[in-house]
Structure formats: structure tokens, C-alpha cells
């Protein structure tokens, strides 16, 4: 069968199964089997019998809504690649915007002649930390993950990057860095428990639930990050945290309430949907007795 016809038939199978990007996924899987890229598919030789069987098997697994990245064994994010599979959250393209924000913050500090200290909470596969280390090699980057299987993936992905990875809880991690961090960044769990049915099959059935769900309103982890950020960040330090598109008001409100943060701002993704919140620890901290202090 000609490559064009093969892809058309494969995309039809995936579309019928409810896959959101059937043409893209059919091409990626075929390129994977042939050891080439999607852009070079029409220059590659046709499938041999064994390759055809392998391609059919991969299409069947994708039609069953197994994540494409699990089938490929990797996910691409900004300028880096990370290994992924069962037991770790698959990075999403929209998170590249949050990582880009953190990179910009770190690069601005480098421009002043200082070494930025960056902490990635709920690192999962380690992809945000790896991107920061890749694009801001001058930075000191730290990452923490609570779930042992996900931590094992991060450990694999962060070898040779210089990132210091720890196994632990974001609520208590990095006491040794208290008051010395410039940037805290996190893509935490943020799906409300009640939203179980609305989660895409690929995520609901294959991503770790610890990486997805965060209390009745989905904000439990974000509340912890807001509290922990005040401990970790130096005065003037910044925090960025991803949230669901329906949390464009409730997530910033976590930081706005109580008056402990300033410059609270929400950011939209390329589709115009609310995607992440940033805030700054004030240079001066207000206390009910005694006014303001540094």
C-alpha cells in the first residue's frame, strides 16, 4: 500500500476511536516504526511484513486510547526530550508557556550577574526542570516529586543536567533553601475530584491520579504551593503555577486572598484559555503588629 493510502486508512481508524489528532498520531507512529520523522515519511521505503504488524499493533493500542507518548516512549517539550511511560504524567504542549515564563525569569536574573535559584515542585517527568537547565545553564535548579514511580522517570530524565532531584512532599521540601529561591514553578495536580468523567481517556486511564486530582475544587495543591512559596522565595521572588482553564479566577484568588502576595496575574495559553498564575513575594512583608518589614 502507498504511504499516503496507509496513513489515510490509519487516521480513519484512529478518528473512529475518538482520537483527537488522528492524522498526526498515525504519522508519528509510522515514522516511529520506520525509524524516520514525519517530514521524511514519503521518502522512506514501504513497510515490510514485520513492520506492518508492528504498525497495526501500535494503531490498535492508540485506538484503545493509550497515550501516543507511551507508544513512542518519549515526549518532546520546548528544546528537550524526556522518556515517559506508565507511572508518570505525560507533558502537555500548553505547559511549555509556564516553563517559558520561568526561563525568562531566570534569564533576567542571569543578566544582572547573579546565579538564579529555581525550584520545580511536583516535577513529574522532570520536564520543566530539564528545560530550565537546558536554556539557563547558569541556574541552580532543584526539583521534587512525591510519587516514587514518577520520581524514577525524573531521575532517568535528569541525569547529566545538573538538576538536584529529591523524593519528597512539596509541602515540606527544600527547608535548606528557605528564603533563598528566586523562582518557584509548578505544574501540580489541579483536576477537581468531581470532574472525573470529563478528563480525557488518555489522562484518566494512564496518567497517575496523584498527578491529576487535587481535592473537591482542584485547588488543594495550589494552596500548598502558595504557602510554601512564601517560605522558599526570597523577598521579591516569583512563583508560577499551572491550573485548569476553568480556574482562571479561582487559582489567582488563592494568591490574592490574605494580601501575602503581590503582582498576582493570570496568563492565557495560545488558544486564549486561562492557563497559569504568577505572583511575587513582596519585598516588604506586612504584619498586623508593627506594620511592614523586609
Give 209's Cβ-side CA count (13 Å radius): 6
* Per-position b or e across 12-22, b if 16+ CB within 10 A of its CB: ebbbeeebeeb
Q: What is the pLDDT of residues 249-289, one digit of tens each?
A: 999 999 998 889 999 999 999 889 999 999 999 987 554 44
Would you write out the chain's pLDDT as a tens digit for each of its 294 residues?
A: 688 889 999 999 999 999 989 999 999 999 999 988 888 888 777 788 899 999 999 999 999 988 898 899 899 999 999 999 988 888 988 999 999 999 999 999 999 999 999 999 999 999 999 999 999 999 999 999 999 999 999 999 999 999 999 999 999 999 999 999 999 999 998 666 665 556 566 556 555 555 555 556 778 889 999 999 999 999 999 999 999 888 889 999 999 988 899 999 999 998 899 999 999 999 875 544 444 444
Pick one of 1.10.8.10, 3.30.360.10, 3.40.50.720, 3.60.15.10 as the CATH number of 3-64.
Answer: 1.10.8.10
Q: How far is CA 6 from the centre of its chain?
A: 33
Q: Check if the beta carbon of residue 120 is closer than 8 Å to that of residue 174.
A: no
Q: What is the pLDDT of residues 152-174, one digit of tens each?
A: 999 999 999 999 999 999 999 99
The domain locations on the chain are 3-64, 78-293
DSSP string, 224-273: HHHHHHHHHEEEEEEEEEE--GGGTTHHHHHHHGGG--EEEEEEE-TTS-
- CB count, 10 Å around CB of 160? 7
Return binding residues for S-adenosyl-L-methionine. 145, 187
Return binding residues. 145, 187-190
Q: Which CATH superfamily is 78-293 part of?
A: Vaccinia Virus protein VP39 (3.40.50.150)
Can 3-64 and 78-293 be said to share one CATH topology?
A: no
Sign of the alpha-carbon torsion through 17, 21, 26, 28: negative
Q: Is 23 exposed, middle or buried (0-12, 13-18, 19+ CB in 10 A)?
A: middle
- The strand pairing partners of 51, in sequence order, are none
| Predicted model pTM | 0.84
Return binding residues for substrate. 187-190
Q: Check if the beta carbon of residue 228 is closer than 8 Å to that of residue 119.
A: no
Amino acid at each position: 500500500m502507498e504511504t499516503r493510502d496507509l496513513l489515510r486508512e490509519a487516521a480513519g481508524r484512529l478518528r473512529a476511536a475518538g482520537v483527537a489528532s488522528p492524522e498526526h498520531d498515525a504519522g508519528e507512529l509510522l515514522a516511529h516504526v520506520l525509524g524516520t520523522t514525519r517530514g521524511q515519511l514519503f521518502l522512506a521505503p514501504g513497510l515490510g511484513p514485520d513492520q506492518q504488524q508492528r504498525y497495526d499493533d501500535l494503531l490498535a493500542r492508540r485506538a484503545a486510547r493509550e497515550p501516543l507518548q507511551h507508544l513512542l516512549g518519549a515526549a518532546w517539550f520546548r528544546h528537550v526530550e524526556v522518556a515517559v511511560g506508565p507511572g508518570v504524567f505525560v507533558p502537555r504542549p500548553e505547559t511549555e508557556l509556564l516553563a517559558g515564563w520561568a526561563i525568562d525569569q531566570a534569564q533576567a536574573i542571569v543578566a544582572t550577574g547573579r546565579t538564579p535559584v529555581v525550584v520545580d515542585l511536583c516535577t513529574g517527568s522532570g520536564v520543566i526542570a530539564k528545560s530550565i537547565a537546558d536554556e539557563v545553564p547558569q541556574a541552580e535548579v532543584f526539583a521534587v516529586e512525591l510519587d516514587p514511580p514518577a520520581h524514577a522517570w525524573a531521575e532517568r530524565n535528569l541525569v547529566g543536567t545538573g538538576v538536584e532531584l529529591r523524593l519528597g512532599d512539596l509541602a515540606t521540601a527544600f527547608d535548606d533553601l528557605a528564603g533563598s529561591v528566586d523562582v518557584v514553578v509548578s505544574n501540580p495536580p489541579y483536576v477537581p475530584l468531581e470532574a472525573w468523567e470529563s478528563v480525557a481517556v488518555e489522562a484518566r486511564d494512564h496518567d497517575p491520579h496523584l498527578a491529576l486530582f487535587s481535592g473537591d475544587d482542584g485547588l488543594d495543591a495550589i494552596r500548598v504551593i502558595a504557602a510554601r512559596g512564601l517560605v522558599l522565595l526570597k523577598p521579591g521572588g516569583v512563583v508560577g503555577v499551572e491550573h485548569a482553564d476553568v480556574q482562571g479566577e479561582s487559582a489567582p484568588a488563592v494568591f490574592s486572598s490574605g494580601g501575602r502576595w503581590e503582582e498576582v496575574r493570570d496568563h492565557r495559553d495560545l488558544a486564549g484559555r486561562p492557563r497559569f498564575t504568577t505572583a511575587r513575594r513582596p519585598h516588604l512583608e506586612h504584619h498586623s503588629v508593627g506594620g511592614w518589614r523586609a
